[in-house]
Amino acid sequence: MASMNIVVLVGRVVGPPELRYTPGGKGVAQFTIAVDRTRGGKNGQEKETDFVPIVAWERLAEICNEYLSKGKLISIQGALRTRTYETQDGQKRKAFEVVASDMQMLSTGERGSSEGGAGGYRSTGGGQQQPRSAPGGGGGGGQSSPPSGWGSDSGFGADDLSVDEIPF
């Protein structure tokens, strides 16, 4: 039986991405998005917020670092990954995160703003990233030209790295 690992989230960026580079020179950005969800409660539906860690690699990491800031509404598509690590006191822990393969900017960052500013980038099968136009052909959030030369052969950029190379 085949398996599938696809995560699609829409949420607001909690803070600016933290961009680092591996010893091999690969860029990796880590940031968190807040995703609202509702569940039944005493008064019908109660809103809860989940804070989901996101990791982006290589050119996508640099784009996220350059264009994302606190409050921006974005869509992320990627895969759920688990990392196991050991704390300083010897306890084993697991971390869950979404490794982004696609990022779409959905707003300029102001909560409740109806301005456009949408644009995004998608990883294609060969590891190259291509711009994705906003609805209505609006382009990439005011960018004059899309970045080129993204990604690795996997589309995630992490296949040839060991856990020791991850800078966080």
pLDDT along the chain (168 residues), means of 10: 90 94 94 89 80 95 93 95 92 94 80 49 46 42 38 43 53
**Given this model, what pLDDT does residue 33 score?**
95
**Distance between CA atoms of residues 99 and 53, nearest Å:** 9
Give the position of tokens 């294609």.
124
**Given this model, what pLDDT does residue 26 score?**
93
**Given this model, what pLDDT does residue 47 score?**
86
Q: With beta carbons less than 8 A apart as the criterion, state whether 34 and 12 touch.
A: yes
Domain spanning 7-141+149-154, CATH class: mainly beta
**Distance between CA atoms of residues 62 and 68, nearest Å:** 10
- Residue 92, amino acid: K
**Distance between CA atoms of residues 21 and 29, nearest Å:** 9
Does the pTM surpass 0.85? The reply is no
Dihedral of alpha carbons 127, 33, 61, 131, sign: positive
Q: Rounding to the nearest 10 degrees, give the CA dihedral for residues 9, 122, 21, 165.
A: 70
**Given this model, what pLDDT does residue 40 score?**
74
Domain boundaries, the chain: 7-141+149-154
Give me the residues paired with residue 90 across strands: none
User: Beta strands 44-57 and 27-41: pairing type?
Assistant: antiparallel
